[in-house]
């Protein structure tokens, strides 16, 4: 068994998610918490039925793991969602976990430590932020900038069934994106993108470009904190509203079941915060294809404080 914890942090009211990987199909897990480095909090343990844990309304399958470096030969995996309330104190929390299968085989226990993080852990982020522009940094030294509200278009060729063809352009405008990070650890995230795409059926009928709306608008509310080690803003979504051209979608998650997303790496100052790597790693083969070219560009997404 191999175990890894989402984000390597735990959140008050939310707990944490453990990814369990094994070479057998696992049905349950034993969990013991530690009081100190050398002593268990209790000799008793939690016996977790993983199917019931998953079916209890928890959003573990939607929580995004940021352990991008995980490499394993294990083929079976499951999620263990551990929730706790605000009585848990901030700081390091260690536990032992092992898994078992339907035949009663039990893995060796593995000790994992997570950091219980407090909310709103970076006062510089408190305030209202508006997306300003994006910047792309190429290994050649050139920089490409795209401001909010600026239209971008890509041109293509469409060949009809009668062998005639026409050129068309699909365009989009990044209308706005805002974050309002508040001192009580709540936040609101709004976004709007206006875009068009080719309506293939209508365009084929007369072999003339016909377009349809492909935009998106949303508002998300939740709680936030900051992981200084990873330089990531941790967003926990509780209320979602998405508006597409012909349909809307709303979802509310109760406390303990929020969707956890890392947003970073973030560079924060008193006037702006940037998401991305910028030119930190220029000259490195970032995608591992053996070449250093435009595919290995750095980027920043820049938000300005209002």
- The predicted-structure confidence for 146-198, as pLDDT tens digits, reads as follows 999 999 999 999 999 999 999 999 999 999 999 999 999 999 999 999 999 99
Give the whole-angstrom CA distance, residue 264 versus residue 36: 32
218 Cβ neighbours under 8 A, 6+ residues apart: 189, 190, 191, 240, 241, 242, 243
**H/E stretch holding 12:** none
- Tokens 């060949």 locate to 159
Q: Report whether 34 contacts 96 (CB < 8 A).
A: yes
| pLDDT at residue 219 greater than cutoff 90 | yes
Regarding predicted confidence, which is higher, 65 or 286? 286
Mean pLDDT of 111-129: 92
Q: What is the dihedral of CA 127, 128, 133, 135, to 10 degrees?
A: 20
User: Which range has the worst mean pLDDT, 44-48, 134-138, 254-258?
Assistant: 254-258
What phi, psi does 55 have (nearest 5°)?
-85, 0
Alpha helices in 196-243 (DSSP H): 200-206
According to the model, what pLDDT value does residue 216 have?
96
pLDDT digits (tens, 9 = 90+) for 266-304: 999 999 999 999 988 888 887 888 888 888 899 999 999
Q: What is the dihedral of CA 92, 30, 109, 90, to 10 degrees?
A: 0
Cα–Cα nearest to 25, from 119, 92, 100, 121:
100
pLDDT digits (tens, 9 = 90+) for 66-114: 333 344 445 677 888 888 877 788 888 899 999 999 999 999 999 989 8
According to the model, what pLDDT value does residue 52 have?
87
According to the model, what pLDDT value does residue 55 have?
66
According to the model, what pLDDT value does residue 5 have?
65
> Coil, helix or strand for 283?
coil
Regarding predicted confidence, which is higher, 289 or 244? 244
According to the model, what pLDDT value does residue 206 have?
92
Q: Report whether 80 contacts 51 (CB < 8 A).
A: no
Give the whole-angstrom CA distance, residue 226 versus residue 182: 13
For the stretch 208-215, contacts whose Cβ atoms lie closer than 8 Å and that sit 24 or more positions apart, written own/partner, are: 208/166, 209/158, 209/166, 209/167, 209/168, 211/168, 211/170, 212/245, 213/245, 214/170, 214/172, 214/245, 215/244, 215/245
Express as a percent the part of the chain with pLDDT over 90.
58
pLDDT digits (tens, 9 = 90+) for 45-56: 999 998 888 766
Mean pLDDT of 239-253: 95
Query: Helix and strand tally (H, E) in the chain?
Result: 2, 21
Cα–Cα nearest to 117, from 42, 16, 2, 219:
16
Which pLDDT band, with edges at 50, 70 and 90, does 238 fall under?
A: very high
Regarding predicted confidence, which is higher, 13 or 219? 219
Regarding predicted confidence, which is higher, 306 or 291? 306
**H/E stretch holding 51:** helix 50-55
Whether pTM > 0.85 for this model: the answer is no
């Amino acid at each position: 068994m191999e175990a890894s914890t989402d984000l390597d942090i735990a959140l008050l009211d939310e707990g944490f998610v453990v990814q369990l990987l094994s070479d057998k199909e696992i049905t349950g897990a034993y969990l013991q918490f530690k009081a100190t480095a050398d002593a268990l909090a209790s000799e008793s343990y939690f016996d977790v039925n993983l199917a019931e844990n998953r079916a209890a309304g928890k959003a573990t399958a939607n929580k995004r793991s940021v352990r991008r470096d995980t490499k394993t030969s294990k083929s079976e995996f499951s999620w263990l969602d551990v929730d706790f309330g605000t009585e848990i104190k901030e700081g390091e929390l260690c536990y032992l976990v092992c898994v078992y299968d339907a035949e009663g085989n039990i893995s060796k226990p593995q000790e994992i430590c997570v950091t219980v993080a407090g909310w709103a852990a970076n006062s510089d982020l408190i305030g209202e932020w508006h997306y300003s522009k994006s910047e792309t940094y190429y290994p050649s030294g050139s920089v490409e900038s795209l401001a909010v509200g600026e239209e971008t278009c890509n041109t293509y060729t469409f060949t009809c069934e009668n062998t005639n063809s026409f050129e068309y352009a699909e365009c989009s405008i990044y209308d706005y994106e805002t974050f309002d990070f508040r001192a009580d650890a709540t936040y609101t995230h709004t976004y709007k993108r206006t875009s068009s795409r080719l309506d293939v059926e209508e365009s084929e009928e007369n072999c003339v470009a016909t377009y349809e709306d492909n935009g998106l608008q949303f508002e998300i509310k939740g709680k936030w904190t900051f992981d200084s080690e990873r330089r990531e803003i941790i967003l926990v979504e509780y209320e979602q509203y998405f508006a597409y051209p012909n349909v809307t979608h709303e979802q509310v998650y109760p406390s303990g079941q929020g969707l956890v997303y890392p947003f970073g790496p973030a560079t924060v100052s008193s006037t702006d915060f940037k998401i991305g790597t910028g030119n930190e790693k220029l000259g490195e083969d970032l995608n591992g294809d053996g070449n250093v070219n435009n595919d290995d560009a750095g980027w920043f997404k820049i938000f300005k404080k209002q």
